[in-house]
Amino acid sequence: MEHEASTRRIASGLVVLILLSGFVLAAGAGTAGRPAEPVSDEVAFLRALDDRYAWDLTERLTDRGEVVAGTDASRETARFLAAEMKRIGLRPGAGGRSYIEDFPIFGWEDIGSSAAVVSPLERSIPIAQAYKDVGTGPDGVTAPIAYVGLGRWDDFERTDVAGKIVLFHRQDPMFYGLPTLAEATARGAVGALMDYPIIADDALKNDVIGVSIPAAYIRETDSAWMRTLLATGEEVVVKLVVNNRVGHYPLAHNVIGLIPGETYPSELVYLSAHFDHWFTSAADDNAGIGSLFAIAKAILTSGIKPARTLVFVAFDSEELGGPPDTWYDWCLGSYSHIIRTLDGRSLHPDRPGRIAAMLNMDVIASRNSIVFVETTPELTNFIRNAARDSGLLSTAPTYVYWPPSSYDDWPFYMAGVPVMQIAWWGPAYDALYHTTEDTMDKLDPTYLHVNMVFNGFAMIRMAQARVLPYTLTENLEVAEEGIANLLERDPDALDPDRADIAPLLRGLESYRAAIASSASTLERRGLTVAEIERINGVLMASAIALNPHLFDWDTSVIPGWTGLFLFDTYANDLYSMNEAIAALGSGRTADAAKALIGVTTMEWGQYVGEEAYAHVLAKIAFPEHPLWADGHLPRLTLVHSEFMALSGRTGQSAEIAPILAVLIAKRDAIYVSITEAGLEAGSAFEAAADLLEGV
């Protein structure tokens, strides 16, 4: 996905009184800001860590080329990785003697796509595409090119695209080109070619392309050449062939190895990366796989005896695998492993409640990176300590924060598992992501080493901790910052005739009291193995009760990319709705339309008509198969029709009074959504508190 990792934490205007602030449920490493000396297991791990092995494995995978889930390349790579797990000494982790866990996906495979200019000159155009439908078939479509710039409303108003192949620059907020393609479809276009201006001129990009009209990515050099011809008045005719095999349900393959735990073998610590990828993808995610195997090999070689069972997973189907009706079609390997498969099976119903933490690596060691480390709240302090002690914080600009987002850790979060995800990203990698330029020379060997030290330390510390090192007060901070943000955006939101969050406030007090009452037990020395297992079982059960009810998806710009507290979408929309209502009430129609652009979905919605808006909305808000977005899509406030009327796009003058009444009604409905979200979160805090009382 297009990564715009948010490092901001919502500013708090609320006086927060948290009992036991900063209390960590285990002895943590080092004091704040000062790296702790590695303990014996960590020293042994560092001595055994083989950077050359990690680099060589990353290079071997990169040299193998593109791996698309459900294809021969996927099956062959899974077998290669399974053999490597066996060679380095990992136990089979997929049941019986197998390292490979199969699951069905919605298949996609390019079986012969191409593009060529046929008039006024002849020229082959390299393309890349992952259009989630059959496409044109082998005969293709031949039509004139219509250049529509950034592919927004005004661009289409100036250009007749009916019966033509549109050429445009993909740029946010038209995420992945989906709104532009929907608008082109609504206006009768028969195909699309898009370039991506921020990448190298001679590079190709690829991403999943939602179903609308057959479309493909092209190089900027070819786009510029066609635009030059068009500028001379020439008609440029292109033959576009998008020829895919889709609709079958092949098997994809997770590859799983274990190191059994010595003391608490039924408790699990996961470390993962994904092996399917576009083009060569050295950073995304071959360097993650190289890190995964090198960490496992170092632990095995070092002689460390983990207290908990260590689970190493190379996930398949991270890039695609879901049906074409849904936007949320990636992360299928992890979703199938911990939630359910597309055919409705639960592969590991006993795992939630036994997984102490899931640590994921995706996009690793790219040069000139900013490091984004996302966590569930109870792991934030633990992970921040590991980042400090491993040298991560002193190696590259690093942000450790909640919430998690849409990597392979998110389905585990859905299941209530505490999670962490690390990505070495930033502006430099934006120009490499899912392109032909993501190659070995773009990796930094020092970054690769530090990534392995960080993840190795985190895994070893989680494995060896007696009582699980969760900071439960961070969950209180999430909710309290969410309440503060709501009141900052709408100071009247909690007035008696508006939203009622009393159940949430009661839940927070119960949870705070439960943390306080459990503190003495958690700090007690001399706990037996049985007592520790019981306490950890309670802590993991409380995470299952609470975690899935803290965050929803931000669907404002790139749907399903950034998590938000349950109130945050509503707080944002209240602010914009109140601005629009005030402007319209005083007759400022243009200002009202401008304010509505701030409502969720309107950052891109302002650039498309009603038909295209409805098409995109069906994918991101109302898909038949929401998959890992299920239960995490906030109720949207749909104001596109009102925006179109107020901005003069309907061809009729806007009638202010009825539009104002509709906006007020939609604004008031947001208060109902906040009340419902508060009840959900409050009930979750109460349930988690009840469990913690059992400590």
Please report which confidence band the pLDDT of residue 665 belongs to, taking 50, 70 and 90 as the band edges: very high
Q: Quick check: 447 and 424 in contact, CB under 8 A?
A: yes
**Phi/psi at 570 (nearest 5 deg)?**
-65, -40
CATH topology of domain 111-246: Glucose Oxidase; domain 1 (3.50.30)
- Condensed to tens digits (0 to 9), the pLDDT of residues 58-114 reads 999 999 999 999 999 999 999 999 999 999 999 999 999 999 999 999 999 999 999
Please report which confidence band the pLDDT of residue 2 belongs to, taking 50, 70 and 90 as the band edges: very low
- Condensed to tens digits (0 to 9), the pLDDT of residues 411-426 reads 999 999 999 999 999 9
Q: Quick check: 629 and 672 in contact, CB under 8 A?
A: no
The pTM for the full model equals 0.94
Q: Give CA separation, 249 vs 244, 277, 319, 619, 634, in Å.
A: 14, 19, 16, 21, 30
d(CA 535, CA 267): 12
d(CA 232, CA 615): 35
Mean pLDDT, to the nearest integer, of 213-222? Answer: 98
Residue 27 has pLDDT above 80, yes or no: no
Of the listed ranges 431-440, 503-512, 549-558, 672-681, the one predicted with least confidence: 549-558
Residue 32 has pLDDT above 70, yes or no: no
Please report which confidence band the pLDDT of residue 210 belongs to, taking 50, 70 and 90 as the band edges: confident
Residue 168 has pLDDT above 80, yes or no: yes
Q: Do domains 43-107+248-464 and 111-246 have the same CATH topology?
A: no
What pLDDT score does 37 carry?
84
Please report which confidence band the pLDDT of residue 524 belongs to, taking 50, 70 and 90 as the band edges: confident
Q: Give CA separation, 496 vs 157, 571, 656, in Å.
A: 47, 17, 29
Share of the chain above pLDDT 70, in %: 95
Share of the chain above pLDDT 90, in %: 89
- Pairwise pLDDT comparison (391 vs 7), residue with the higher score: 391
What pLDDT score does 147 carry?
98
What pLDDT score does 652 carry?
80
Mean pLDDT, to the nearest integer, of 531-542? Answer: 96
What pLDDT score does 232 carry?
95
Q: Tell me the average pLDDT of the chain.
A: 93
- Pairwise pLDDT comparison (39 vs 118), residue with the higher score: 118
Q: Which residue has the tokens 């490499």?
A: 432
Q: Report CA Rg, the chain.
A: 26
d(CA 302, CA 199): 42
d(CA 132, CA 320): 9
Of the listed ranges 69-73, 145-149, 231-235, 649-653, the one predicted with least confidence: 649-653
- Condensed to tens digits (0 to 9), the pLDDT of residues 271-310 reads 999 999 999 999 999 999 999 999 999 999 999 999 999 9
Q: Give residue limits of the domains in the chain.
A: 43-107+248-464, 111-246, 472-695
> Mind giving me the DSSP string for 405-453?
BSSTTHHHHHTT--EEEEEEESHHHHTTTTBTT--GGGB-HHHHHHHHH
Q: Quick check: 507 and 566 in contact, CB under 8 A?
A: no
Residue 31 has pLDDT above 60, yes or no: no
Residue type, 242: V
Residue 548 has pLDDT above 90, yes or no: yes
What pLDDT score does 519 carry?
87
Q: Which residue has the tokens 């996930």?
A: 315
Mean pLDDT, to the nearest integer, of 546-569? Answer: 90
d(CA 171, CA 457): 39
Report the 10 Å Cβ neighbour count for 546.
Answer: 28
Q: Does domain 43-107+248-464 have CATH number 3.40.50.2300?
A: no
Please report which confidence band the pLDDT of residue 17 belongs to, taking 50, 70 and 90 as the band edges: very low
Beta-bridge partner residues of 258: 91, 311
Q: Give CA separation, 445 vs 54, 295, 433, 439, in Å.
A: 10, 15, 19, 13
Mean pLDDT, to the nearest integer, of 346-359? Answer: 96
Residue 662 has pLDDT above 70, yes or no: yes
What pLDDT score does 565 carry?
95
- Condensed to tens digits (0 to 9), the pLDDT of residues 573-584 reads 999 999 999 999
Residue 546 has pLDDT above 50, yes or no: yes
**Where is 553: in which H helix or E strand?**
strand 551-554
Closest CA to 117 of 165, 158, 71, 57: 165
Residue 5 has pLDDT above 60, yes or no: no
Mean pLDDT, to the nearest integer, of 578-597? Answer: 97
Instruction: Say if residue 305 is exposed, middle or buried (CB neighbours under 10 Å; 0-12, 13-18, 19+).
Output: middle
Of the listed ranges 484-493, 614-623, 644-653, the one predicted with least confidence: 644-653
Distance from chain centroid for Cα 331: 8
- Condensed to tens digits (0 to 9), the pLDDT of residues 108-147 reads 999 999 999 999 999 999 999 999 999 999 999 999 999 9
What pLDDT score does 369 carry?
96
Closest CA to 360 of 271, 458, 255: 271
Residue 632 has pLDDT above 70, yes or no: yes
Please report which confidence band the pLDDT of residue 526 belongs to, taking 50, 70 and 90 as the band edges: confident
What pLDDT score does 35 carry?
86
